[in-house]
A and B are shown apart, each in its own frame.
Chain A
Amino acid sequence: MSDDAEHTPRAIDGHAPDVFHHGGWVPMRQHGEDDAVDFAIVGTGAGGGTLACKLAEYGFSVVALDAGPYWRPLEDFASDEHHQAKLYWTDERIVGGDNPLQLGANNSGKSVGGSTVHFAMVSLRFRPEWFKARSKLGYGADWPLDWREMWSYYAEVENTLKISGPVNYPWGPKRPRYPYRAHEINAAGLVLAEGAEALGIAWSPTPLATVSAPRGQSPPCVYRGMCVIGCSTNAKQSVLTTWLPRALKAGAEIRDLAMVGRIEHDKSGRVTGVRYHRQGRWRFQRAKNVVVAGYSIETPRLLLNSASSRYPDGLANSSGLVGKNLMVQANQAVWGIMEREIRAYKGPPSLAITEHWNYTDAGKDFFGGYAYMSQGPLPLVWSGVQASKRGLWGRPLIDEMERYNHHVGLKIVGEFMPQERNRVTLTDERDQYGLPIPRVTYSYCDNDKRLIAHSLAFMRQALEAAGATEIWDETDDTCHLNGTARMGDDPQTSVVNADCRSWDIPNLWICDGSVFPTVGGVNPSLTIQAIACRTADRIKARAAHGEL
């Protein structure tokens, strides 16, 4: 039997891959295409995968479709950056604006489990005030969510992923201690610690979604350091290894290599299911509800590509905001050289963090905040920084790369402002499925630039204090995607409500990073999963009242 995950669906014929065993299978319930399932979910990443699990456990019938393959990490993942590009969304996208984004490896996954299959596992809570950024801090927009409610969903996700973290986290309101002990800090992280201590600010071991002790079928992390090209031992607690095995057990069906091209609706305007491409042809799955969870580029693209005579501007778009307010996060860095050997390739890439500038407002000339973390770029990424960003080639490149084991860096995850001009639109070019490809336009605003300047100056001091020399700034990197279908309290100024339900079409939902009204200064996936847990609870409650 052919078992080529990239070309032949694996979740089929009543079973799905057992991600914990070579060649293993687990049983999977299946639904007929004419059988209108309670929920068809588009995308199985942080948003869609989590929601699929929770809804199935609440007894709803669920079919979750993903354009990507269904991997078994133990047999499919090589220790090789080049080969592992198979995890990324590499279909063509056009980038423009003053600051064209780097997509693909940098922020977009295409796998069952979504981008969490190759994410860096940093698992952070929002600062509470960010949920009311407009009224409490004076910028962006308010979320229709209360931080205290989110605090309990964060705890649920942290427990599900058995986050490894410190006993006491230095910032923000009280939280339960992390389920698993913190990881040992590598040399790159110790440099962050030394710099922070010299400047008198707090630092912490980073809360990470990779286990520091055995957990079920996950062995403890072996510090291989290749987390962002996919964990080949299953220490990483991705959606693929946590929520989805549970989802299958609870009766959800997952369809891999299934690209949804269009959401259909009936005369009354309610959606009826999804048209998707699998095994060489277009198919249709009927559903009572459709959830879009394709991340901040594919989600608006699908909604826009589903335009009809009734909804000429695309689905859920009466506000005109679908595709707008795309937010990446600042990912600028300072790099330097240490006399001591660092060998930053060992261990998870960001073992130490400071959120000082997320929680301190005095002394800032900008809105928003940033965290900064230690770094461990692998050779392909590092040579890309030296060549494309720094312009090195020839002998200077070779010489600089030979100092790989002595380089050290600090990098921010910083809050960019929502701007309507930063957006996803459709082009005339078509992809391999015949669907219009997206154009992603991005330009930093003045506030974004002030945040970057502040962070670079501060991190430079920290790196100097730790003893690094030859320090230079990497000024133009970004990470993570959020926004394009924001949640809110008002149908005029948002796409979905607090329950991730679209204002325009009551049985159409959006549950992924797209719903963020602002982005905060921490990595987003813990928040995306917390929102998905909340959404599942809200759906359950609504269903109990006959309000679906």
Chain B
Amino acid sequence: MPDRYPGYEVLQKRNSPSWNDKTRAVIDQRMAIDPNHHAFFTDAEWPTLRAICERIVPQPPDRAQPAPVAAMVDEKMHKNSGDGYRDARLPPMREAWRRALAALDAEATSRYGRRFHELGALLQDDLLKAIQNGGVAQKAWGDLPAKLFFEKRLLHDVVSSYYAHPAAWSEIGFGGPASPRGYVRMSFDRRDPWEAAEARPGSEAKARAENARVG
């Protein structure tokens, strides 16, 4: 897939009037997360979580600094920072994740004789789809509703970690932090010089040049 916003990098604006001090402090911290650090998940659980994250939000292999999605999920669990509500059918967040990772590996082992992270991408996707559609073996999951866990916990926690990272913002052409400068050009097909330029067929080089000037 060609890059829709070639060369666009939100972080280029770090020292511009689009970032206030608080934003710089918060994003610096996020950029410094060690992708291998895990304080909540055990060494046994960790590869399973990483494999899940890679399938849910795949990142380009040549990305200089990929979003440390698994470590961000781990941080959320470690701090136990919940969302303020829990579906009555699900156990508390941390317990739900622990039980689900165990169930996923049990399911993988019973189907294929290998743990989840040892499977190829296609089999991993098949398994994840089975969970999403509720087509999993009840034995491994016990009374944990797999489909609900997938929708309300797994997708929520993994996807919200990825799209909280500047790498994802650059990928989708989001302006990113914007205080105090904000924006001026509000109408259709208008971009401020500090916004991402989109490559249309034939305009790839122009977009790349404009994106190099974003700041």
Binding site for B on A (CB under 8 A): 74-83, 85, 88-96, 100-105, 108, 184-187, 190, 221-226, 232-233, 340-343, 345-347, 378-380, 382-384, 386-388, 391, 393-395, 397-399, 401-402, 404-405, 439-440
| A58 and B30 alpha carbons, distance in the complex (Å) | 48
Given A78-B177, A79-B23, A103-B84, 5 more pairs with CB closer than 8 A? A103-B83, A222-B183, A346-B175, A393-B55, A401-B171
* A296 CB → nearest B CB, Å: 14
In angstroms, Cα B88 to Cα A383, docked, is 24
A187 is contacted by which of B25, B56, B92, B187 (Cβ under 8 Å)?
B187
Query: Which segment, of B36-44, B104-112, B158-166, faces chain A?
Result: B158-166
Q: Which residue in chain B gives the minimum CB-CB distance to A103?
A: B85
| A388 contacts across to B, CB distance below 8 A | 151-152, 155-156, 159
Question: Nearest residue in A to B186 (C-beta to C-beta)?
Answer: A186
| Residues in chain A near residue B198, CB distance under 8 A | 341, 405
CB-nearest residue of chain A relative to B83?
A: A104
Task: Return chain A residues, CB-CB under 8 Å to B55.
Answer: 393-394
| B86 x A92 contact (CB < 8 A) | yes
A444 to chain B, nearest CB (A): 16
Question: Is B132 a contact of A391 with CB atoms below 8 Å?
Answer: yes
Interface residue? B178 (CB, 8 A): yes
Segment at the A interface, from B14-22, B95-103, B134-142, B202-210: B14-22
Residue of A nearest to B160 (CB): A380
Question: Quick one: which of B21, B86, B156, B173 contacts A384, CB cutoff 8 A?
Answer: B156
- Asked if B117 is at the interface (CB within 8 A of a chain A CB), the reply is no
- Tell me if B172 and A88 are in contact (CB < 8 A): no
Q: Tell whether, in the assembled complex, residue B83 and residue A105 are in contact, meaning their CB atoms are under 8 Å apart.
A: yes
B186-204 interface code vs A (CB 8 A; 1 in, 0 out): 1111110001101000000
A51 to B83, CA, bound (A): 29
- Taking A380-B163, A384-B156, A394-B125 as contacts, is the C-beta distance between A78 and B22 under 8 angstroms? yes
Residues on A with C-beta less than 8 A from B187 are 186-187, 190
Q: Give Cα distance in the complex from A383 to B162, angstroms.
A: 9
A523 and B127 alpha carbons, distance in the complex (Å):
42
A225 to B179, CA, bound (A): 10
| A-B CB contact pairs (8 Å), 13 listed | A79-B20, A80-B26, A85-B81, A92-B86, A103-B85, A222-B180, A233-B182, A341-B188, A379-B174, A393-B159, A395-B58, A397-B57, A399-B1
Pairwise interchain contact B81-A90, C-beta atoms closer than 8 A: yes
Instruction: Looking at the assembled complex, report how far the CB atom of B202 sits from the nearest CB atom of chain A, in whole angstroms.
Output: 16
Q: Are A343 and B178 within 8 A (Cβ)?
A: no
Instruction: Name the one of B19, B84, B160, B173 contacting A404, with C-beta atoms under 8 angstroms.
Output: B173
- Do residues B183 and A346 form an inter-chain contact, with CB atoms below 8 A? yes
Cβ contacts under 8 Å, B81 to chain A = 85, 90
B27 an interface residue at 8 Å Cβ cutoff?
yes
* Complex partner residue of B172 from A101, A186, A405, A440, CB under 8 angstroms: A405
Q: Does chain A have a CB within 8 A of B113? A: no
Residue contact B56 to A394, C-beta cutoff 8 Å = yes
Check if B143 is an interface residue, CB within 8 A of chain A: no
User: Which of A226, A345, A387, A402 makes the CB contact (< 8 A) with B179?
Assistant: A226
Residues of B within 8 A of A221 (CB): 182
Interface size on B, residues (CB 8 A): 64
Do most interface residues of chain B lie in helix, strand or loop, or is the interface mixed?
A: loop
Q: Is B184 an interface residue (CB 8 A)?
A: yes
Instruction: Judge whether B70 is part of the interface by a CB distance below 8 angstroms.
Output: no
What residues of A have a CB within 8 angstroms of the CB of B171 in the complex?
398, 401-402
* Shortest distance from the beta carbon of B179 to any chain A beta carbon, whole Å: 4
Q: How far in angstroms is the closest Cβ of chain A from B144? A: 16
Q: How far is the CA of A226 from the CA of B4 in the complex (A)?
A: 24
Whether A222 contacts B181 by the Cβ 8 Å rule is yes
Determine whether B77 belongs to the interface, using a CB cutoff of 8 Å to chain A. Answer: no
Complex formed: what's the CA distance from A345 to B192 in Å?
13
Q: For residue B191, which residues in chain A have a CB less than 8 angstroms away from its CB?
A: 341, 343
Write the nearest CB–CB distance from A470 to chain B, whole angstroms. Answer: 17
Indicate if B51 sits at the interface (CB-CB under 8 A).
Answer: no
Q: Which residue, A79, A378, A439, has most C-beta atoms of chain B within 10 A?
A: A79
- Tell me the complex Cα distance, A391–B195, Å: 29
Q: Does B34 contact A (CB under 8 A)?
A: no
Residues of A within 8 A of B151 (CB): 388, 391
Note all chain B residues with C-beta closer than 8 A to A378: 174
Q: Are B57 and A379 within 8 A (Cβ)?
A: no
Complex formed: what's the CA distance from A394 to B178 in Å? 29
From A347, which residue of chain B is reached at the shortest CB distance?
B186
Which of A88, A387, A395 has the most CB atoms of chain B within a 10 A radius of its CB? A387
Chain A residues whose C-beta falls within 8 Å of the C-beta of B175 in the assembled complex: 225, 343, 345-346
Q: In the docked arrangement, what's the CA distance between A386 and B22, Å?
A: 29
Q: Provide the bound-state CA to CA distance between A341 and B195, in Å.
A: 12
Contact of A104 among B19, B85, B159 (CB under 8 A): B85
Whether, in the assembled complex, B215 has its beta carbon less than 8 Å from a beta carbon of chain A, the answer is no
Contacts of B182 in A (CB 8 A): 221-225, 233
How far, in whole Å, are A195 and B15 apart by their CA atoms in the complex? 40
Q: How far is the CA of A105 from the CA of B84 in the complex (A)?
A: 8
Contact A223 B183 (CB under 8 A): yes
Contact across chains for A108 and B178 when beta carbons are under 8 A apart: no
On whether A383 and B4 interact (CB within 8 A), knowing A79-B23, A92-B84, the answer reads no
Q: CA A417 – CA B32 in complex, angstroms? A: 49
Q: Which of chain A's residues have a CB closer than 8 A to the CB of B86?
A: 92-95
With both chains docked as a complex, state the minimum distance between the C-beta of B6 and any C-beta of chain A, in angstroms. 12
B163–A224 contact, CB under 8 A? no
Contact partners of A94 in chain B: CB under 8 A: 85-86, 88
Contact B87–A232 (Cβ < 8 Å)? no
Contacts known (A95-B85, A404-B173); A232 close to B159, Cβ less than 8 A: no
Query: Judging by beta carbons under 8 Å apart, are A224 and B27 in contact?
Result: no
CB distance from A121 to the nearest CB of B (A): 15
B195 to A, closest residue via Cβ:
A343
* Residue B212 is within 8 A (CB to CB) of chain A in the complex: no
B3 to chain A, nearest CB (A): 9
Q: Say yes or no: is B168 at the interface (Cβ < 8 Å to chain A).
A: yes
Q: Are the C-beta atoms of A225 and B163 separated by less than 8 Å?
A: no
Q: Is B128 an interface residue (CB 8 A)?
A: yes
B residues in contact with A386, CB < 8 Å = 159
Residues of A within 8 Å of B23, CB to CB, are 78-80
Cβ–Cβ < 8 Å partners of A401 in chain B: 163, 168, 171-172
Per a CB cutoff under 8 Å, which of B21, B26, B185, B195 touches A83?
Answer: B26
Q: Chain A residues with Cβ under 8 A from B83's Cβ?
A: 90, 103-105
- Per the bound structure, the CA–CA distance linking A471 and B163 in Å amounts to 23
Q: For residue A405, which residues in chain B have a CB less than 8 angstroms away from its CB?
A: 172-174, 196, 198
